[in-house]
Chain A
Amino acid sequence: MIRKLICGAGATGAALFTATAAWAAEAVETVTESAGTPIAAATEVVEAAAAVPNPGNNAWMMTSTILVLMMILPGLALFYGGLTRSKNMLSTMTQIGGAAALAMLIWVMWGYSTAFGPEGNAFFAWGNLFLSAVTPDSTAATFSDEVISEYVFVSFQMTFAAITVALVLGSTVERLKFSAVMLFTAIWLTIVYFPIAHMVWAGGGFLFEMGALDFAGGTVVHINAGVSALVLAMILGKRVGYPHEPMPPHSLTLTMVGTGLLWVGWFGFNAGSELEADGIAGLAMINTFVATAAGALAWMLMERLSGHRGSALGFCSGVIAGLVAVTPAAGNSGPFGAIVLGILASVIAYFAVAKLKPKLGYDDALDVFGIHGVAGIVGAIGTGIVYQPGLGGPGDGSTPMGAQLVVQITAVAVAIVWAAVGTAIVAFIVKAVTGLRVTQEVEREGLDIGEHGERAYNL
């Protein structure tokens, strides 16, 4: 996703009119003057003409944006909510909604500027606070010579920031205070998410310039969320009674509904990340089908091979693992590379969740690290392999696999360190200001009543 903004049109209507006229004149002039050098001429003309976004691409990106919103509410809210105990259902869903809503407001105030602003260094950007440089006529570049309307790009990227912080909250459900959620959201987005998004996706960003492949956010969204969730859960501490008291999911039906909404919404997330409705978006689409299907069945198979029954929750977990793994690879892999990635990520995430977590003893309540973090790492590194044309990937082969892998692993390592250190800092600030945990009585009685004064089910 490239985000070098081609033009910020003038602030007033008069200025706009003048500017448009000027471009038109320039375009004509360019064509006439450089008739002898067709390539240069074509480039020039396209740049001038590209100020008008293709309505088809705009329409697809608007659709993708609201698909990602659907992943948050109700998708993620139901997926997570169903996995908690019934006394914490509303708290879990409200934290997701609250964090996402705050993320949207912060995004338009300073988030977009910090991630994709016109000025910047390798780690941060600036110069577009309160969207001051965005107008209905300004545009954002796609991967080709097309552009989309900048407001659409701002909205699309906004939903990514919102879902990433919402994902983190899965590890801390049933005990993290709502006030802590709000403060965490504000600071974490600012010092963890925006810089990582800038580094990976913005022209001039540290990892972008290094050539890291991250089609739709395997590093920015999933590794980032997974590692942050782990660190926050460790600082927050375990739930009262964990792991001795049984804490089974209260409604796998709702979790299954949420899983379905996430899968559908993920087409906006992955295929939308092409920023155009073109062939690569189509590739991302088919990969989002098949990697997910492979991940779902692989998880159930792992359950069988471990001597259990293939379960509904196993199916849902495999779906998410497959989706996460294919996120960085969506437009960077052939369908069969994506299938292999989905299987690998699902199998490794299964071990992380079912075997590693009980041994290490941390309480990542809904396995955000085990699934998003682990499958995200598998996907990000694996993308360097499946990208190669010899393996059916869309790469041109100009970067050898070894070199690409080094870049991918570097990007993963940078994201892990940045997310871990950043989240630890945020957690200690929040702990000092609002405190992190609810009281033990509230935790016992449930956060629905204790934090929100409501009950999810009045039967």
Chain B
Amino acid sequence: MKFIIAIIKPFKLDEVREALGAIGVAGMTVSEVKGFGRQKGQTEIYRGAEYSTNMLPKVKLEIAASDALAPQVVETIQQVASTESIGDGKIFVLDLVSTTRIRTGESGDNAL
């Protein structure tokens, strides 16, 4: 099992969710996050006081997937979330040690 963390542009969320649904991803966790990478921050000005914000808003997806599905998930996110400009985000894949469904107590691939 793999644990996939993807940081993407917020406006790409719906498109990515649809595409992942189509390849059989049954669930994911989404959070609004802030962070920085190569993309520059923004400058905000309030009554002449300038604040440069280094942190930009992004959306973080967390998806647990079987070993078989994981490469497809990564490929799908990469293709759908890309705008070919900096700030598109990153995808991290981690080995997932175990998964348990709380309702039934099932574990492993059955719990995904």
B contact face: mostly helix, strand, loop, or mixed: strand
- Give 12 A-B contacts (CB < 8 Å), ordered by A residue: A243-B49, A246-B53, A303-B45, A308-B45, A309-B45, A311-B45, A313-B47, A314-B47, A317-B47, A353-B47, A354-B48, A358-B48
Distance in Å from the Cβ of A315 to the closest Cβ of chain B? 12
Q: Is B92 an interface residue (CB 8 A)?
A: no
Instruction: Tell me whether B46 is interfacial, beta carbon within 8 Å.
Output: yes
B51 at the interface (CB under 8 A from A): yes
Interface residue? A249 (CB, 8 A): yes
**Closest CB of chain B to A61's CB: distance in Å?**
35
* C-alpha spacing A311/B49, complex, angstroms: 13
With the chains together, A353 CA to B45 CA distance in Å?
12
Which residue of chain B has the shortest Cβ distance to A306 in the bound complex? B48
The reply to whether the CB of B44 lies closer than 8 angstroms to some CB of chain A is yes
CB pair B46–A249 under 8 Å, yes or no, is yes
Compute how far the CA of A389 lies from the CA of B53 in the bound complex, rounded to whole angstroms: 52
Contact of A400 with B by CB under 8 A: no
Flag whether A56 is at the interface (Cβ < 8 A). Answer: no
Which chain B residues in 45-62 approach chain A with CB under 8 Å? 45-49, 51, 53
CA of A370 to CA of B47, assembled, Å: 10
B51 proximity list for chain A (CB < 8 A): 246, 248
A313 and B46 contact, CB distance less than 8 A? yes
Nearest-Cβ distance from residue A248 to partner chain B, whole angstroms: 6
Residue on B nearest A353 in the bound complex, by CB:
B47
A249 and B49 alpha carbons, distance in the complex (Å)? 11
CB-CB nearest 9 A-B residue pairs: A354-B48, A246-B51, A353-B47, A308-B45, A248-B46, A313-B46, A248-B51, A249-B46, A354-B47
- How many A-B pairs have beta carbons closer than 8 Å: the answer is 27
Per-residue B-contact encoding for A304-330, CB less than 8 Å = 1, 0 else: 000011010110010000000000000
Question: A354 vs B46: C-alpha distance in the bound complex, in angstroms?
Answer: 9
Task: Return the chain A residue nearest B45 by Cβ.
Answer: A308
B47 to chain A, nearest CB (A): 5
* Chain A residue nearest in CB terms to B44: A248
Q: What band does the interface of chain B fall in when counting residues whose beta carbon is under 8 Å from A?
A: under 10
| A308–B47 CA distance with the chains assembled, in angstroms | 11
> By the criterion CB–CB under 8 Å, are A353 and B48 in contact?
yes
Does the CB pair A358–B49 fall under 8 Å? yes
Within 8 A of B (CB), among A118-158: none
The answer for the CA separation of A430 and B102 in the assembled complex, in Å, is 59
What is the 8 Å Cβ interface bit string for chain B, positions 78-112, against chain A (1 contact, 0 not)? 00000000000000000000000000000000000
B41 CB → nearest A CB, Å: 12
Residues of A within 8 Å of B53, CB to CB, are: 246
Any B CB within 8 A of the CB of A276:
no
- The A327-356 residues at the B interface (CB cut-off 8 A) are 353-355
Q: How far is the CB of A114 from chain B (nearest CB, A)?
A: 36
Closest to A367 in B: B47
Separation in Å of the A351 CB from the closest CB of chain B? 9
Taking CB atoms and an 8 Å cut-off, the chain B residues in 4-59 that contact chain A are: 44-49, 51, 53
Q: In the assembly, what is the distance between CA of A370 and CA of B46, in Å?
A: 14
**CB–CB B48/A355 < 8 A:** yes
Tell me the minimal C-beta distance from A367 to chain B in angstroms: 6
Complex CA gap A309/B42 in Å reads 13
A357 to B44, alpha carbons, bound, how many Å?
Answer: 18
* Alpha-carbon separation in the docked complex, A308 to B49 (Å): 11
Residues of A within 8 A of B44 (CB): 248
Minimum C-beta distance from A396 to chain B (A) = 41
Docked pose: A48 CA to B81 CA in angstroms:
82
Query: In this complex, which of B46, B48, B49, B53 has the most chain A Cβ atoms within 10 angstroms of its Cβ?
Result: B48
The smallest beta-carbon distance between A82 and chain B, in angstroms, is 11
Bound CA–CA A308/B45 (angstroms): 8
The interface bits of chain A over 349-373 (1 if a CB of B lies within 8 angstroms of the residue's CB, else 0) are 0000111011000000001001000
Apart from A353-B48, A354-B48, A358-B48: 10 A-B pairs, beta carbons within 8 A: A246-B51, A247-B49, A248-B44, A248-B51, A303-B45, A311-B45, A314-B47, A317-B47, A357-B48, A367-B47
Chain B contacts of A303 at CB under 8 A? Answer: 45
Chain A residues contacting B45 (CB-CB under 8 Å) are 303, 308-309, 311
Q: Which of B45, B51, B53 has the most CB of A within 10 A?
A: B45
Closest Cβ of chain B to A197, distance in Å, is: 30
